[in-house]
Amino acid sequence: MNVLGIETSCDETAAAVYGSDGLQSNVIASQSIHYQYGGVVPELASREHIRLILPIIKQALAEANFKLHEIDGIAVTYGPGLVGSLLVGLNVAKGLAYSRRIPFIGVNHIEGHVFSVCLNRPDLNFPFIALVISGGHTQLVLVKSLGQYEILGRTLDDAAGEAFDKVSKMLDLGYPGGPIIDRVSAQGDEKFAQFPRSLLKEDGYAFSFSGLKTAVLYFLKRLTEEDRKKYVADIAASFQAALVEVLVEKTVAASRNHKIQNIVLAGGVARNSYLRKLIQARAQRDGIHVHIPDPILCTDNAAMIAWVGYHKFQNGEQSDYNLAPVPGLKL
């Protein structure tokens, strides 16, 4: 069976082909139109998806060396995300499925992130602990099987990626903030400022990043314009260390307390090089295995959607034509 995956939940227009022989193509167009506004403009995102989706699907088929009639099913993100953006992908999926008389299935975007690691590690066994960290979500999940999830904790306020993006804006570094802070921090001293490690000492797996964001804001207010520029890498590195330390400690604690030896990172923030290094080092001490997808599979992509769709089709699942986008869809 070969599945075409489609992802249009936010500002990436993406298509991929996944089948019995693994991943055949993975095409992603990141919409750069939003950079000048310092964040995603929903109406512009929908229009870009309309403009890009068919060429991207054609490219994904061409790179996989497939014709549309060789596709047996379509998997598409139906939530969470921006409603206008989701509508574009969902309607294209329905149209293609109807014209070819093949099944389609709506996939939860967060579920896609959780399993993106399986594209690199097909032999990964259940159960595992997944830390899902993206622009809109931060949660720790105990994954028992495809479809069986126990949410251990989530953020009480900002998502991890959102905190990166907002602090980058405060530091005048630009958008999207995560990759910039990651790069700039490499030149900085993470011990320069002691920012709060929110909820680190509390039991449980809830996260909170808005206090950290405010602490950075007040720290900056006390500096002169000149010092802000001079110490920008140190401040970025100190912020990053505070946020990442909490992510790592809570995730390792979840793994230890539930006696689950496998940890999976998922979502755009899992690209962060400081996090990738710290969690590997920390887990090694406790004999825990950490699995992190290739960077291109951490941020939004359609390969992860195709993977989930393929396995749900194999389980006999499919969607029907009145499936509507669900912007606030939960795992």
Which residues contact ligand KG4 (rule: CB under 6 A)?
10, 134-136, 161, 164-165, 176-179, 182, 267-269, 271-272, 299-300
CB of 297 to Zn ion, least distance (A): 11
| Residue 134 interacts with Zn ion (CB under 5 A): yes or no | yes
Compare residues 48 and 165 and give the one whose CB is closer to ligand KG4: 165
Alpha-carbon span 258 to 129, nearest angstrom: 9
**Number of residues assigned to the chain:** 331
CB of 114 to Zn ion, least distance (A): 11
The answer to whether the CB of 290 falls within 8 A of the CB of 283 is yes
Compare residues 74 and 298 and give the one whose CB is closer to ligand KG4: 298
Answer with the entry of ligand KG4, Zn ion, none that 293 interacts with (C-beta below 5 to 8 A by kind): none
CB of 111 to ligand KG4, least distance (A): 12
* Tokens, residue 100: 């070819």
Q: Which of residues 297-316 bind Zn ion (CB under 5 A)?
A: 300
Q: Of 195, 211, 315, 210, which is closest to residue 245 (Cα–Cα)?
A: 195
CB of 135 to ligand KG4, least distance (A): 3
Compare residues 134 and 262 and give the one whose CB is closer to ligand KG4: 134
How many CA atoms lie less than 13 Å away from 178 in the CB half-sphere? 24
Alpha-carbon span 91 to 249, nearest angstrom: 42
Answer with the entry of Zn ion, ligand KG4, none that 179 interacts with (C-beta below 5 to 8 A by kind): ligand KG4
Answer with the entry of ligand KG4, Zn ion, none that 111 interacts with (C-beta below 5 to 8 A by kind): none
Query: What is the number of other CB atoms lying within 10 angstroms of the CB of residue 227?
Result: 12
The values of phi and psi at residue 260, to 5°, are -115, 120
Compare residues 49 and 271 and give the one whose CB is closer to ligand KG4: 271
Answer with the entry of Zn ion, ligand KG4, none that 271 interacts with (C-beta below 5 to 8 A by kind): ligand KG4
Compare residues 178 and 309 and give the one whose CB is closer to ligand KG4: 178
Compare residues 182 and 234 and give the one whose CB is closer to ligand KG4: 182
Answer with the entry of Zn ion, ligand KG4, none that 161 interacts with (C-beta below 5 to 8 A by kind): ligand KG4
Answer with the entry of Zn ion, ligand KG4, none that 269 interacts with (C-beta below 5 to 8 A by kind): ligand KG4
Answer with the entry of ligand KG4, Zn ion, none that 79 interacts with (C-beta below 5 to 8 A by kind): none
177-183: long-range contacts, CB 8 A cutoff, minimum separation 24: 178/268, 178/269, 178/271, 178/272, 179/271, 181/236, 181/239, 181/240, 182/240, 182/271, 182/272, 182/273, 182/274
Compare residues 88 and 102 and give the one whose CB is closer to Zn ion: 88
CB of 182 to ligand KG4, least distance (A): 4
226-235: long-range contacts, CB 8 A cutoff, minimum separation 24: 228/171, 231/192, 232/171, 232/173, 232/184, 232/188, 233/184, 233/185, 233/186, 233/187, 233/188, 233/189, 234/188, 234/189, 234/190, 234/192, 234/193, 235/171, 235/188, 235/192, 235/193
* Tokens, residue 33: 């139109």
The values of phi and psi at residue 51, to 5°, are -70, -35
Compare residues 287 and 328 and give the one whose CB is closer to ligand KG4: 328
Q: Which of residues 271-300 bind Zn ion (CB under 5 A)?
A: 300
CB of 109 to ligand KG4, least distance (A): 6
**Going edge to edge, which strands form the sheet with 73-79?**
22-30, 12-19, 2-7, 73-79, 104-108
CB of 163 to ligand KG4, least distance (A): 8
Q: Which residues bind Zn ion (CB under 5 A)?
A: 134, 300
